[in-house]
Structure 1
Amino acid sequence: MLYYLYATPVASVIFALTIGLSLYVFSNPQWYAKLMLHPYTLHRDKSKWYMVFTSGLIHKDWMHLIFNMMTFYYFGFGLENMFVQFSGVLGHVLFAGLYVVSLILSDIPTLIRQKNNSSYYSLGASGAICAVLFSFIMFQPKAMLGLFMVIPIPAYLFAFLFLGYCIWASKKAYDNINHDAHLFGALAGIGLTILLYPWSISHLLSQFL
């Protein structure tokens, strides 16, 4: 635990805060209405801007939380470590920036699309986590993972299966989980990574050529 706090303090805080606040709202569901993203309200009352952030720290249920936190655990801690290797101590700040900015960018299409839909709410860290996932793949696309803890699969294939599922789910589900944010989070993660480390494009291509 102390190693993670020292080596990857930002990922550790995000991980602990997301789990802690999600568990709190599981036991106190009245907080969902206060912390979830509600574009209709936010469009009319800009003082509710905090919803963009708080909605990314809570989850619908155990399965939603476990799935997102497992993905973050596999990729978030490793990505912060890589940023530190590339940029020294500044890497911690850059990782925090990528996570927070991606969380905001991934919600913008939803805020625009649902601004007049008073019945639409969403929650989950999906957009920011997808940004972390695709940023990681820019550097280590062939890192091997265990799908369902068993089936070996390269990171780039996992990412596209993950994204494909989320796009499909966004068309099928009515569960308050913002599946659309996955796609825009992935794009934000790729874009911000290229902005921070332009050489990541040639590095990624070199892994496949």
Structure 2
Amino acid sequence: MSITLLLILVTVGISLAAWNNPGLMDRWIMNPYAVAHQGQYYRLVTSGFLHADLSHLLFNMLSFYFFGGTVEAIFSQLFPGVGGIVLVVFYLIAIIISDIPTLIKHKDNSRYNSLGASGGVSAIIFATILVFPLTGIYFFFIPVPIPGFIFAILYLGYSYYAARQGSSGINHDAHLYGALFGILFMAVVFPQAIPSFFEQVGNWRPF
């Protein structure tokens, strides 16, 4: 079994368990106040395995499934024998990093909660885009796939704008910083991806 599929199964299992156990959901959800004032740092990780509802879970896990295998394959080539371990470490750190801005912003708000794998999934997607910037991605209402690098520009721009508005109830900060971490991590472990990215984008033609 691939590590990607294993992470998906674990996430689905924990989300299902939390839906049937409000106490578990309450203990594991990302509550910045509890992290900052009660030292419950584990919430930075556990919240990434919880989801609000079935549509939230399906969207994140389908995205993870389509891109996680690619990143796992890249890491397996870069780190023979331990590629799966690198994927797990990368994913968990991405979840933590993507939550830090939320922690700082809402650390004194005991009523604020956040959950979901979006930060980690965004990191996975953007790590893929750095290596394969022309990969086709479907974006909201657009019926045809668009090149990954164009998706990245739209996604980052929208996430930054929406995070500044702060009224949608969605943690866009996690999306933004997870994506940026994914780019940074892949650039560090696979620096050849950077010139390759610009070469591929430079040779791209829309028609």
C-alpha contact 2:5 2:65 (8 A) present in aligned 1: no
Is the partner of 2:114 in helix, strand or coil?
coil
Aligned pairs for 1:103-118 (under 5 A) are 103-118=95-110
CA displacement at 1:87 relative to structure 2: 2.5
Alignment-mate amino acid for residue 85 of structure 2: V
Q: Which moved more, 1:73-82 or 1:140-149?
A: 140-149
Deviations 1:2-25 (A, max 9, x none): xxx1xx3x2122111111111222
**SS of 1:207's equivalent?**
helix
Percent identity over paired residues: 38
CA 60–169 in structure 1, closer or farther in 2 if over 3 Å, else same:
farther
Structure 1 stretches of at least 4 aligned residues deviating more than 6 Å after TM superposition: none
Q: Could you tell me which residue of structure 1 aligns to residue 120 of structure 2?
A: 128
TM-score (ref. length: structure 1): 0.86
- What per-residue deviation string (whole Å, max 9, x for no partner) do you get for residues 56-88 of structure 1? 001011111111111111111111012112332
Q: Which of 167, 172, 179 is the aligned partner of 1:172? A: 167
| Alignment equivalent of 2:63, drawn from 50, 53, 71 | 71
Corresponding position of 1:12? 5
Supply the RMSD in Å over aligned alpha carbons.
Answer: 2.0
Give 2:147's aligned residue: 154
In structure 2, relative to structure 1, the CA distance for the partners of 1:153 and 1:135 (3 Å cut) is same
Counterpart of 1:116 in 2: which secondary structure? coil
Q: Does 1:141 align with 2:136?
A: no
Which ranges in structure 1 are unaligned for 5 or more consecutive residues?
Answer: none
Aligned length: 199
Residue 84 of structure 1, aligned match among 76, 91, 97? 76
Alignment TM-score, normalising by the size of structure 2: 0.87
Q: Secondary structure at the match of 2:92?
A: helix
Query: Gaps spanning 5+ residues in structure 2: where?
Result: 203-207
Distance in 1 separating the partners of 2:152 and 2:7: 21
